[in-house]
Structure 1
């Protein structure tokens, strides 16, 4: 068989949806297998899981090899971050999980094999990339939220320390208590305790919840959704470029050019 024919076959296997679904299924089975090992199992079942784990590791190694051989330009394979990620996870997961020294490392890496679904499923990649790209903007929101936490914690520690030192003893404990309030974990118990001494202390809690649970969390969601829309648009544009399909910008440019041509023709007719 010629090298070009072999290359074409590997490309077809790599692009095959059935093969992709099968890989995802093996990843899920691998994750379930790791979870099953946390239970006490009979010796026979433990041997089956050990053999199955080695078969899964061998399959992942074969899958990486197929993707590498299916790449037209082999040098470009490792220019992709996700290819590096998958290869690293697969190679490290070959560490024997039952050896005395490397057992913990081997088992932990097998847990992380489920993260390979991110590299396999494009939608998950977009979600993760959007979250990472949103981090710089989220940093300023987190900084502002920390300032609000710090101010309210200082006020709470000053006013409520004598009521309950366990919850308001110092500013760090007060910030933990405020985090409990923000997540609505029995926050009314905390509020009613202080209201017994300060009847208007409900204003303290309601304003804090408004700033954190409502305003800031909605800002975080808005930033992530905005970045996600940009990533989806970029992915659609890249897919259109690979398939030689016209994008919305190309269509708009063509419509403008057509409109300009029609205007020129109409002005020429009027001159005549």
Structure 2
């Protein structure tokens, strides 16, 4: 029976059907935001209950297809799906209807656990957070230094933008996101003609260097996650590639040996 449930769980048809149900669930959640007739509202509630029961059955099938409770909970995505499905069982009646619908919105996130490519993106983002945290810390230091300098230099020009360090950091965030930053620069250039150096160096550090560092970190982790996904989907691929390379190397050695032997014969 475990093999039968495993074939069902790994079936492409079954997975596509689950994805279709997730999309239908998302549409029902969106439909609840409109003013509908009582009959339509009742039909949506019945459909919502059927979707919740299906998700529960699908989760049971996945559990029966796994090698015991430890193997099931070893995968973080199974825990994620379990929490969402259990949240969907929250009764939608009376004063709790808002909370129940709010919990059902998160069923759309199950699409992430069902599509491997989306799992790769989320896993890469989660694994990149520690490295991005150090980059963010360094960015905060740069923001703080420039904010302190800006508050001392431009505080008298426009106290609304440069009165203290915290306000100056908000202004610098506006500059870093290029939200009318030239207006801020031209205002200070009327008093300090060389203040453009302050803005250009800040933009160069934050918008160009640190942003590219974050993108590079995410891309590096994503390449590792794609490699793990390929190994998971086809674990014998690397072994086959290695054996093919070894076979090709042996053929080249044989050709080289035959060429050397012919050259020796020609010499004699």
TM-score range, shorter chain: 0.7 to 0.9
In 2: Cα distance, 1:228 partner to 1:99 partner: 45
TM-score by length of 2: 0.85
Tell me how far 1:43 sits from its aligned partner: 2.7
Which residue does the alignment assign to 2:48?
A: 53
Does the alignment pair 1:205 with 2:199?
A: yes
Cα 1:253–1:148 change in 2 (3 A) is farther
Paired position in structure 2 for 1:130: 124
Within 2, Cα distance between the matches of 1:92 and 1:264?
Answer: 69
TM-score, normalised relative to structure 1 = 0.84
Q: 1:27 aligns with which of 22, 30, 46?
A: 22
1:163 to 154, 157, 160: 157
Unaligned stretches of 5+ residues in structure 1? 1-5, 268-272
Per the alignment, residue 216 of structure 2 pairs with: 222
- What displacement does 1:31 show? 2.1
Q: Against the structure 1 CA distance between its residues 32 and 260, is the aligned structure 2 distance closer, same or farther, given a 3 Å change threshold?
A: same
Gap regions ≥5 residues in structure 2: 261-268
1:111 corresponds, among 85, 105, 113, to 105
Find the partner of 1:65 among 60, 65, 89.
Answer: 60
Superposition CA RMSD, Å: 2.9
Query: How far 1:209 sits from its partner (Å)?
Result: 1.0
Q: Using the alignment, how far apart are the partners of 2:224 and 2:8 within structure 1?
A: 31
Aligned residues of 2:139 and 2:206 also touching (Cα < 8 A):
yes
1:88-99 alignment, distance < 5 Å: 88-99=83-94
Aligned match of 2:38: 43
Deviations 1:94-133 (A, max 9, x none): 1013342x43432222121111111111111111111122
Question: Aligned match of 2:146 in 152, 174, 179?
Answer: 152
Distance of 2:114 and 2:195 partners within structure 1: 52
Q: Deviations over 1:206-225 (max 9, x none)?
A: 21111111111011001110
Structure 1 distance, partners of 2:183, 2:92, is: 47
1:246 is paired with a residue whose SS is helix
For residue 228 of structure 1, report the CA deviation from its aligned partner: 1.0
Indicate the residue corresponding to 1:181 in structure 2.
175
Aligned residues: 265
Question: 1:247 offset after TM fit, Å?
Answer: 5.1
The answer as to 2:196 corresponding to 1:196 is no
Per mean C-alpha deviation after superposition, the further-off stretch among 17-26 and 211-220 is: 17-26
In the alignment, the residues of structure 1 paired with residue 247 and residue 9 of structure 2 have an alpha-carbon distance, to the nearest angstrom, of 36
Q: 1:218 to 1:247 in 2, by over 3 A?
A: farther
